[in-house]
Amino acid sequence: QLRIILITLARRPVLPRVIATATHPMQLAHRRHRPGFLVLVDEGKDVVLSPGIYTLEKTIMMDHPGQVLLGLGLATLEAPRDGTPCVKVKPGVPGIRVAGVMLEATEMNASAAKGTKNALFEWGDDKVLDSGQLDDPGAMFDVFVRVGGATAGNRANIAVDSMMKIHSGHVVGDN
């Protein structure tokens, strides 16, 4: 059953309300509900991000079959300061969909910057052989990456080694 929970932008507290039903749980997150949307992803729910800038404290781990992360209005995900990716897809998980997001490098903590080989987006793991699934491929559509952007801080310390790393097979990408 598809359930979209709309979190309204009213100035007074409003309870989320169901606006559609079908076959899969889906949540709409607003940047002010940042910690909550990470919990939803961890629970395996599909998440729709409203437009805005989301400063991540930890990586969004996609590890449930068929899970969806969809950004509206090019929702921007600022990378965690520890050098980990904005989004990581666990190897061997079929049907993951990531779309409509901007991934942005941020200034890393000094301890995280030493000797790391980081990326903003990582699909699979370089230590795990994952040929993917032909009948249920992963997909990423309109996923953009940038260094600099709107991030404040010491521009000399804003960097990333790779924009994207794709270690798994049968992943469709389109921009």
What digits encode the pLDDT tens for the residues 46-80?
888 888 888 888 999 999 999 999 998 888 999 99
Token pair in block for residue 125: 């793991």
pLDDT at position 141 is 95
pLDDT at position 67 is 93
pLDDT at position 32 is 54
Residue from 22, 75, 15 nearest 47 by CA: 75
Average pLDDT over residues 162-171: 93
- Residue 15: C-alpha distances to residues 75, 109, 171 (Å): 23, 37, 37
- Please state which of the ranges 23-37, 43-57, 139-153 shows the lowest mean pLDDT: 23-37
Give me the numbers of helices (H) and strands (E) for the chain, helices first please.
2, 13
**Residue range 99-114, pLDDT digits in tens:** 999 999 988 765 555 5
| Residue 137: pLDDT band with limits 50, 70, 90 | very high
Strand partners, 102: 76, 144
